[in-house]
Structure 1
């Protein structure tokens, strides 16, 4: 793979301040991208990532709001007005037991996990290279794996999987490919940010590792290469695909 795979390309990665988004943004930058715009709601983690590579541009934006999508579009337009790759990585997790349900949690998960990629894709579509544009969406094996107290998160990711397939069909005639990755339990902050205690997170990870045939949880380095690979020109005959990266958990 060429070190300049994404030379002269402009990339947007939502949720680029931590975890998978952070690693993906830096991978695109290291592979020659002209600019990698990363978004998030807090400036500090975004600035930390931007300090690691001159191609990374931080934009504080809530992708679930119209103001946020406007800010991201303005950032793309400021750098030439053409977008080559859009990575939807921003996501939230939270437990939603039906016997103690908070409707605000339900709305929030769907706003960030489902509505945000819909609204941002629609906003950036006029700027997305056609033909030749790529959209990569970070889903989850939760879309296919039933777990107690996680029905809302799982449903939101099932919706994401449907978006990937539908957009691949809708945008294919424009020469735009749409694919996704569906990670299992990966070492990122999403669980603790979602309100789980450190002890619970440790227990979940241990249980996952015990069930997965590979005997461990995932690392961001297991996911990032697939995100960049799906956006490469060498993957030009792949669209509508959702690659499961879970250490074999779904088959165990």
Structure 2
């Protein structure tokens, strides 16, 4: 099977924590025990539903499966109002554990809300991926080389991001994740420089929505096409002893 390249990741010029794609994910901590329900949105349309049981101990949390410190929820796997493939999806989690929301395929944009269920008549919304809160992490990748503006459109703060052109001698020097702290209306650091494969991690301490937008792409000319050399006639001796001609077309390839 031939590998499939998702060209979408190379064409994308903006990232938004409120609209999750294959280029981004969110990590949310659930501190309190209880029962929770979640709703998955494709744009503004509800496309899925799930439930989470959170307990202080494994015995309290366990219901159908083994409770975990972390659960991973693929938002692109939800395709109707009842859950994944027509079935409600249930998870178990230990209090203080984390939920990782991500998108595994496609070019669509998702959001998710979580409600706490209790004795009250109406569920209480405790999380909205379109408005991140304290201890939430927004993780994203920016592939296209160029200059970007980074803004916290809800909590204030901005930064300048430079994605360097991928050159072989630079790519493997430093590929560690870059952490940006969003607090008190500022971003730290305010100037960020990364390679296309490096991960950006935004740590939120107040209501936040992170927007990354391309301002100027770094375009470089394509390598010149390999010239075709005129066919050269050479002599070749056949088994019969006769001498004939053979045309050989040679190609010189330039590497950018």
Normalising by the smaller structure, the TM-score range is: under 0.3
Task: Give the structure-1-normalised TM-score.
Answer: 0.27
Give 1 or 2 for the bigger CA radius of gyration. Answer: 2
Richer in strand (by share): 2
Task: Give the structure-2-normalised TM-score.
Answer: 0.26
